[in-house]
Amino acid sequence: MDPNMDDYETEEEPGFVVEDVSKIVKESVEAAIGGNTYQHSRVNQWSTSVVEQCLSQLSKLGKPYKYIVTCIITQKNGAGLQTASAFFWDNTTDGSCAVRWENKSMYCIVSVFGLAI
Amino acid sequence: MDGSDSYLIRPHHQHKFRPAAVKECVREIVRERLSEVRYDPEEVPELTRSLADSIKDKLKNAGFDRYKLVVQVVIGEQRGQGVKMTSRCLWDADSDNYAEDVFMNDSLFCVVAVFGSYYY
């Protein structure tokens, strides 16, 4: 009796693919704040839109991952900024990606963390 | 049949990620490490990294079983510039949560965000 084994292999390669995520982030940032100059009153709306756009594109990838996206927008005035992250997760399946973007008046740093379910 | 795997899909109430407790813990560490520090571009990269590691290590031992942790530390110089930090997460709101803390002194500001995600 031949056990009819179903093939449970998923079509797409699971895993946190840094290039794909990085591309999604760059596009979202460009679309949300592309040609703008830093304006204190609009920063709220910009950072929200960057993050929400990234998240919606990431969820469209359809992978079994939970995502955390953070975005920091800062005005350019010569001040220094440093970010660091530490993780306690599964190295084989989880990953992170940080993208730095700038224009003449501001810097935008977006970090994406993907945690496998 | 002994030693079965546990298939908990929800954290037990006592082991849930408690933002208030995590925030307290983070606050203590940050205040202890940064209260007298001035922003120095040579030292800050090392400082941020070591702060992130210490916070992560402290939280690992705080009893959040089955939680994956992500700690993000941002340290910036205070020069009157505008800064905005936002985050959004795609996760399970019943079991996952986050905690944040902001510390400022005359020469720098420090934002710490800790995200806890339950591993089913």
Given an 8 Å threshold on Cβ–Cβ distance, is A71 in contact with B85? yes
- Contact between B59 and B17 under an 8 Å Cβ cutoff? The reply is no
Closest residue of B to A52, CA-based?
B88
Q: How confident is the model at residue B53 (pLDDT cuts 50, 70, 90)?
A: very high
pLDDT in tens, A49-107: 999 899 899 989 888 999 999 999 998 888 888 999 999 998 899 999 999 999 889 99
**Segment B7-50, tens digit of pLDDT:** 777 877 777 888 999 999 999 999 999 988 888 889 999 999 99
* pTM as predicted: 0.84
**Closest of B29, B69, B65 to residue A68, by C-alpha:** B69
Rounded Cα–Cα distance for residues B65 and B34 (Å): 29
Work out the minimum CA distance from A58 to partner chain B, whole angstroms.
Answer: 9
Chain A CB contacts of B61 below 8 Å = none
In whole angstroms, give the CA distance from residue B6 to residue B19: 25
* Cross-chain residue pair B75–A82, CB shorter than 8 Å: yes
Residue of B nearest to A56 (CA): B90
Q: Which residues of chain A make contact with B55, given a CB cutoff of 8 A? A: 86
Residues A87/B71, Cβ–Cβ less than 8 Å: yes
- The residue of A63, A73, A81 whose CB has the most chain B CBs within 10 angstroms, and thus the best one to mutate to test that interface, is A81
The partner residue sitting opposite A80, judged by closest CB among B60, B70, B76, is B76
User: Which chain A residues have a beta carbon less than 8 Å from that of B94?
Assistant: none
ipTM of the complex: 0.82
